[in-house]
Amino acid sequence: MGGQLTPSSRFTPSKDAVFETQSNTGLNINSSGAVTASFDIHGHKYVAWSGALATGTWAAAVVTLQSSLDGTNWFDTASTLTAAGLKDNVQVSALFVRAKVTTVESGVGTADIYFVAK
């Protein structure tokens, strides 16, 4: 039966795919140092990321994109999300990225953070 897919020949997404995504819900923007899960971006050159208020308010909080070559040692990038700007597109030379709360919100709030590696 030529042409039929067997379980081992079905397509599975890989790093060769055009893009990959990761969603992180409930980042506590009232907690300094709170981070999202790391996002493996091996083989990708660009990361688009955005934030959306999930609960409470987002007036003063700043969320910074961090990068890492090994998934252990993290460094802040110049890319940040604030209430005034909730999306950015950056070129990266790292293997992993994540979002970190660097300035806290004075009220109560959580944010959802979305990544797209291209």
- Cβ burial, residue 67 (10 Å; 0-12/13-18/19+): buried
Could you tell me if residue 5 is inside a domain?
no
CB 30 within 8 A of CB 109: yes
- Cα separation, 50 vs 86, in Å, equals 5
pLDDT digits (tens, 9 = 90+) for 18-65: 788 999 999 999 999 999 999 999 889 899 999 988 999 888 899 999
- Cβ burial, residue 1 (10 Å; 0-12/13-18/19+): exposed
pLDDT digits (tens, 9 = 90+) for 62-110: 999 999 999 999 999 999 998 877 788 999 889 999 999 999 988 888 9
Could you tell me if residue 6 is inside a domain?
no
Give the 3-state secondary structure percentages of the chain, helix then strand then coil, rounded to 5. 5, 50, 45
**For the chain, what is the domain count?**
1
CB 71 within 8 A of CB 96: yes
Could you tell me if residue 9 is inside a domain?
no
Could you tell me if residue 3 is inside a domain?
no
What residue numbers bound the domain in which 92 lies?
21-117
Could you tell me if residue 15 is inside a domain?
no
Q: What is the DSSP letter of 42?
A: T
Could you tell me if residue 11 is inside a domain?
no
CATH at residue 72? 2.60.120.1110
